Amino acid sequence: MKPVLEVRDIHKSFGGIHAVRGVSFDVRPGEILGIIGPNGCGKSTLFNCILGQLPPSSGEVWLEGERVTGLRPSQLNRLGVSRTFQLLQVFPKLSVRENLILAGQEHRGSMLSRLLGPGDAGLTPDADKMIAFFKMQHLADERAGGLSFGQQKLLDAAMAFMAGPRLVLLDEPAGGVNLTMLGNLKERLKAINEEQGATFVVIEHNMDFVMSLCSRVVVLAEGKVLAIGTPADIRANQAVIDAYLGH
């Protein structure tokens, strides 16, 4: 089966600093791939290179057999690649529902039809379904800026799924979220993965979260791939234990 995402020999340098050094891996349809590694190992830089937010110094990114290196983030999103950010990136002055509508509207019709069509681009029912799926019904009309940190994280994740993406890249979704909310988030991600066959790539420091959610894990260290394997393989890998997990 053709991989959803192929990352081929990506390098990224900032002056004399080599943040990413020849990283290659692929993401299979319907899998949840985790990317772990110590701080500064190049995880977020790699994400930004894949998503067109940073041009890689060299290397290629392929999406379902189509070369997408250098495409703008908006173009990649319209091809079905969605993401969340490490830091909160919701639109504080819009309500929860409006944030979700915004996340899906650019996938509906042409720019002109969006101007002339209904104000919600016909997305209110979809947004309400997503709100219900993430159990945020009581917050639907609240401004996103007024939500708690954990609720905003949940909204951020929900926004990534509004357009029915082929691939979702989640950058530290568990960061700063308490245990109850984390359980809820994990349960929702698993449900989307199982019910819709959605494919995820997850960067995360929370080992329990990664090991219980992901089917395979890529370990980065100093900008290079240290190991790729199932959570069990990674736990048992001596190089990974030495470099990251510890004893």
Partner 1 sequence: MIPPLARLWQPAALVLAIMLLIALPFGLERYGIYILSLWAVTTIAAIGLNLTLGYAGQISLAQGAFVGIGAYTAAIMTSAGWPLLVALIVAIILCFAVGWLLGYPALRVQHHYLAFVTLAFSTLAFLVFRNEQWLTGGIYGIFGIPRPTIFGFSTRSAQAFYYVCLGALGAVSLMAWWLVRSPWGRAFTALRENPLRAQSLGIDTRRYTLMAFAIGSAIGGVSGVLYAPLVEFVDPTPFSLVLSLNLLLMVIVGGQGFFFGPFLGALIAVLLPEWLRFTKGYYLIIYALVVMLLLIWSPSGILGILDEALTRRKTRRASALRAAARPTLDEGRAP
Contact yes or no for 224/21 (Cβ under 8 A):
yes
Nearest to partner 1 of 88, 228 (CB atom): 88
Task: Tell me the closest approach of the beta carbon of residue 114 to partner 1, in angstroms.
Answer: 4
Q: Which lies closer to partner 1 via its Cβ, residue 199 or residue 237?
A: 199
* Stretch (H or E) spanning 161: helix 149-161
Minimum distance from CB of 167 to partner 1 (Å)?
13
Measured from the CB of residue 142, what is the shortest distance to partner 1 in angstroms? Answer: 6
- For partner 1, the binding residues (CB under 8 A) are 51, 53, 72-74, 77-78, 82-83, 85, 89-94, 98, 101-103, 105-108, 111, 114-115, 117, 119-121, 135-136, 138, 142-143, 146, 148-151, 154, 159, 163, 176-181, 184
The values of phi and psi at residue 133, to 5°, are: -60, -40
Distance CA(11)–CA(30), nearest Å, equals 27
Residues 95, 99, 100, CA angle at the centre, nearest 5°?
120
The closest alpha carbon to 26, from 75, 61, 77, 74, belongs to 61
The closest alpha carbon to 197, from 158, 170, 165, belongs to: 165
CB of 183 to partner 1, least distance (A): 9
Closest to partner 1 by CB, 26 or 106 = 106
Q: Which is nearer to partner 1, 132 or 241 (CB)?
A: 132
Pairing of strands 17-27, 5-14: antiparallel
CB of 226 to partner 1, least distance (A): 28
Task: State in Å, rounded, how far the first CA of the chain is from the last one.
Answer: 37
Could you tell me the smallest distance in angstroms from the CB atom of residue 12 to partner 1? 18
Contact yes or no for 148/176 (Cβ under 8 A): no
Q: Among residues 178 and 230, whose Cβ is nearest to partner 1?
A: 178
Nearer to partner 1, 102 or 228 (CB): 102
The SS3 call for residue 74 is: helix
| 145: DSSP letter | G
Residues paired with residue 228 on neighbouring β-strands, in sequence order: 218
